[in-house]
Amino acid sequence: MIEIHNIHKAFNGKKVLDGVSGVFETGKTNLLLGASGTGKSVLLKCIVGLIKPDLGSVTFDGTYFTNNKLDIRQEIRRKIGMLFQGSALFDSMTVEQNVEFPLKMLTDMTKEERKERVDFCLKRVGLEGANKKMPSEISGGMKKRVGIARAIAPHCTYLFCDEPNSGLDPQTALKIDELIKEITEEYNITTIIVTHDMNSVIEIGDKIFFLYEGKKLWEGTRDDIMDTDIKELNDFIFANRLMRDAKKVEEEEREEEEERRYNGQLASQGKEKAPSEESVETEKEPHPDNPEGPAATTQTGNDKV
Ligand X SMILES: Nc1ncnc2c1ncn2[C@@H]1O[C@H](COP(=O)(O)OP(=O)(O)OP(=O)(O)O)[C@@H](O)[C@H]1O
Q: Which stretch binds ligand X (CB under 6 A): 32-40, 104-112, 263-271, 275-283?
A: 32-40
**Least distance in Å: CB of 10 to ligand X?**
9
| Nearest-approach distance from CB 240 to ligand X, in angstroms | 15
Give dist(CA 95, CA 89) in Å, integer: 8
Per CB under 6 A, the list member of 29, 30, 38, 87 interacting with ligand X is 38
Instruction: Please report how close the Cβ of residue 213 comes to ligand X at its closest, in angstroms.
Output: 10
Q: In what order do the strands lie in the sheet with 190-195?
A: 80-83, 158-162, 190-195, 29-33, 207-212, 215-220
Chosen residue from 22, 34, 141, 205 binding ligand X by CB under 6 A: 34
Contacts of 123-132 with C-beta under 8 Å, sequence gap 24+, read 124/149, 124/152, 124/183, 125/149, 125/179, 126/179, 127/95, 130/95, 131/94, 131/95, 131/96, 132/94, 132/95, 132/96
Helices and strands: H and E segment counts in the chain: 11, 10
Return the residues of window 48-67 that contact ligand X according to CB under 6 A.
none
d(CA 189, CA 191): 6
Residue 17 bridge partners (DSSP) = 9
Burial class of residue 160 in the structure, from the number of CB atoms within 10 Å of its CB (0-12 exposed, 13-18 middle, 19+ buried): buried
Stretch that binds ligand X, among 33-41, 53-61, 165-173, 183-191 (CB under 6 A): 33-41
| DSSP-assigned beta bridge partners for residue 14 | 11
Which position among 2, 7, 33, 40 is part of the footprint of ligand X (CB under 6 A)? 40
Query: Residue 126, SS3?
Result: coil
Nearer Cβ to ligand X (14/69): 14
Nearer to ligand X, 39 or 141 (CB): 39
Nearer residue to ligand X within complex by CB, 103 or 198: 198
In the set 37, 129, 264, 286, which binds ligand X (CB under 6 A)?
Answer: 37
Q: Is 16 one of the binding residues for ligand X (CB under 6 A)?
A: yes
DSSP bridge partners of 294? none
Using rule CB under 6 A, residue 165 touches ligand X: no
Q: Which of 33, 42, 130, 173 binds ligand X (CB under 6 A)?
A: 42
Contact stretch for ligand X (CB under 6 A) within 40-48, 171-179, 184-192, 258-266: 40-48
Query: Among the candidate windows 34-42, 92-100, 123-131, 238-246, which touches ligand X by CB under 6 A?
Result: 34-42
- Judge whether 29 and 160 are in contact, CB under 8 Å: no
Kindly report the number of other CB atoms within 10 A of residue 195's CB atom: 23
Q: Which of residues 180-209 bind ligand X (CB under 6 A)?
A: 196
Q: Is 181 helix (H, G, I), strand (E, B) or coil?
A: helix
User: Based on CB atoms, which residue is closest to ligand X, 11 or 262?
Assistant: 11
Cβ of 78: how many Cβ atoms within 10 Å? Answer: 15
Residue 40 vs 216, nearer CB to ligand X: 40
Q: Does residue number 39 form part of the binding site for ligand X (CB under 6 A)?
A: yes
Shortest gap between Cβ of 191 and ligand X (angstroms)? 17
Binding site for ligand X (CB under 6 A): 11, 16, 34, 36-42, 196
